[in-house]
Structure 1
Amino acid sequence: MSIAILDDYQHVIQGLECFNMLDEQEEVLILHTAEKDPARLAAALDGVEVLVLTRERTDINEALLSRLPHLRLISQTGKISRHIDLDACNKYGVAVAEGVGSPIAPAELTWALIMNVLRQIPAAIEGMKHGKWQVNMGQSVHGKTIGIWGYGKIGKMVANYAKVFGARVLVWGSEASREKALEDGFDKAASKAAFFSQADVITLHLRLNESTTGIVQEIDLDMMKPTAVLINTARAELIAPDALPNALKKGRPGFAGIDVYEEEPVYNPDDELLKMPNVVCTPHIGYVEKNGYELYFGAAFENVINFLQGTPTHIVNPQVLRQP
């Protein structure tokens, strides 16, 4: 069976312990580049029967699938999202196996960004590298109001981090999530306007779908304090196009910590957000962590092995398995 693992940016997958699960497979191809053109990607995958995806780095669409006649299975690390066209997979008889995820690494990265932005740590480090001493003055977390939009697994972890640091937690989202936050001892915002105007830090933890795309508008950001921070480790498309840079230029919010971008990877050092001194940018590393990778790829490889052994697991479109 010919297996390809896509978009290993860091060249680390082959060194994972779980990679040993594929030892008996003779043909395993690992691609380290993020090829976006369907024709060129299909040429590199000629004859491949199984694809293992690294989260959402590859778009699986009809333009690609129509060029991969031998493909039988796509094994997703973590949960599937809009990067996979399930209708096209059904059309071409390609099974899709869904994996598992963990909130730990993204929650920790969220908190790291909050700390780095509030204390302005990157700027202080950069100052020292240029022979300067104590170039700025940051803010502490203690006593701040941490606004969390989306009280799921990640949002709950961030809320508990905030509690330990002596911050107030203010939750916005669905009525059910706000009530759950209230049960857990946190505050729920009375309205979206109150949420944006009262929080010292707002961090987004929503799933991206049709109803949440562009859910944060520039008018929302305009209500934030000039000292406030916007953190996004979820999805860039949650924020309306250009809304964040426009708001930052106007000074509300005053700062941002960003891990996700509308077009990834970002190779342009002149990207607008990268050039802003009040923004800390990381290259979508929320889930990029050793234990997390072992979990993500271990589950994905297990789904591959089970499929090859005739006992497919976690298939989200099982109807294709019954096709002649």
Structure 2
Amino acid sequence: MKVVHFHNPGSPSLENELHLFAEKGIEYVRCMEPMTQEEQIRACEGADAVLTIVKPFPREVIEKLDSSVKCIVRIAMGYEIVDVEACSERGIYVCNIPDYAMEEVAVHQTALILACLRKVVYYDRKVREGAYDHVGYLEGYSARRIYVLSVGLLGFGRIAKNVARYMQSFGASVYAYDPLLPDEVFAEHGVTRVRTKEEIFRTCDIITPNIPLMESSYHIIDAEAIAHMKDGVIIVNTGRGALVDTEALLAGLQSGKVKAAGLDVHETEPFHDLDHPFMKMENVVLTPHIAFQTTESFEELQHKAVLYAIDGAMGKISAGAVNGGCVRP
């Protein structure tokens, strides 16, 4: 058996877990980026399972993969870089690691909310610029007491449940929209259930999307959604960049409709356009897609990725399979 790992510098190396492949008699091959699609396809020859974190697997690649490939494991929560439908047609299981950084992402999301509310980054810059010239120095938009505010969660999975708990501890009211869950889940967590995402837009002072990126959720926060939001809304995104329409968010910030934004993810990544208006906006907090990262989360991610790849190589359906019903032709 053979596992091929498409590795990018800076991404999990799996070094501490490679002994698990050896114990199962599985050959491990690491392929370093960059490489062309033709090189990618050749690298997969004879592979039983494939691991990737950044390298996309679109339909045109999947249709040409060696018939030996049984499983593709995305070493991340999301799996948008793999064409799941094309994989299902070929009987290839697609796995992600959906539960490795639940606490980390929720903490980072809460940190961005608090940074926007309390203007932590804003005032840090002002102090460093020498603007702090008297006690009680105030500038920019007004901060608010958290207990008078409402947080709106689009999606109520494991990350959102943690965010709800953290924000409730500060006294905020929490509303959530998730049509896939029964009423008792919301009641159990002391969260007000709403039946439409439009209710979140109309009702909440702080709004965060906590859902996978797919066709139905692409730009779930767009110009129309922002138009229906309360004046002075705060938008935070730690999910996927394309859940929020960048141009619509920019227009909302420029008009004042959106008071502040905290973004860990961006529609274009890496996001390093120094001329982009976000870079000059003091009411926008930017981090480099790092919400998932702690020492513990990386260890968990690597361990689960290797276990799922072993399952896939052996023809087993792992716990992380997103298309477990597919059948090999």
TM interval, shorter chain, is 0.7 to 0.9
Gaps of 5+ in 2: none
Corresponding position of 2:79: 81
Corresponding position of 1:268: 273
TM-score normalised by L of structure 1? 0.80
Task: Please tell me the residue identity of whatever aligns with 2:116.
Answer: V
Distance 2:264 2:93 in 1: 31
Task: Please tell me the residue identity of whatever aligns with 1:269.
Answer: L
Deviations 1:1-26 (A, max 9, x none): 654433545255346x4344345666
Deviations 1:282-304 (A, max 9, x none): 22223233322222221221132
Task: Please tell me the residue identity of whatever aligns with 1:29.
Answer: R
Task: Indicate which of 293, 296, 303 corresponds to 2:298.
Answer: 293
User: Percent identity between the aligned chains?
Assistant: 23
Deviations 1:132-190 (A, max 9, x none): 43664644434321122222222211111111111111223428466632453232347
- How large is the Cα RMSD of the aligned pairs? 3.3
Distance 1:283 1:70, change over 3 A: farther
Corresponding position of 1:104: 103
Matches within 5 A, 1:156-235: 156-174=161-179, 176=181, 180-189=185-194, 192-235=197-240
Shift of 1:201: 0.9
Shift of 1:271: 3.4
Q: In the comparison of the two structures, how many residue pairs are matched?
A: 314
TM-score normalised by L of structure 2? 0.79
Shift of 1:317: 6.0
**More displaced 10-residue stretch of structure 1: 214-223 or 71-80:** 71-80
Matches within 5 A, 1:1-324: 3-14=3-14, 17-22=16-21, 27-29=28-30, 31=32, 35=34, 38-39=37-38, 41-42=40-41, 45=43, 47=45, 49=47, 50-54=49-53, 57-65=54-62, 68-69=65-66, 72=69, 73-78=71-76, 81-90=79-88, 94-102=92-100, 103-133=102-132, 136=139, 138-174=143-179, 176=181, 180-189=185-194, 192-240=197-245, 242-308=247-313, 310=314, 312-314=316-318, 316=324, 319-320=327-328, 323=329
Shift of 1:274: 3.3
Q: Is contact 1:223-1:252 (8 Å) kept? A: no
Q: Is contact 2:5-2:28 (8 Å) kept? A: no
Q: Is contact 1:233-1:286 (8 Å) kept? A: yes
Distance 1:226 1:257 in 2: 17
Gaps of 5+ in 1: none
Deviations 1:60-86 (A, max 9, x none): 113333565486242233566332223
Structure with the greater relative contact order (CA < 8 A, sep ≥ 6): 1 or 2? 2
Distance 2:160 2:6 in 1: 29
Distance 1:93 1:220 in 2: 38
Deviations 1:81-129 (A, max 9, x none): 3322234335666444454424222111111111111111122222333
Task: Please tell me the residue identity of whatever aligns with 2:86.
Answer: A
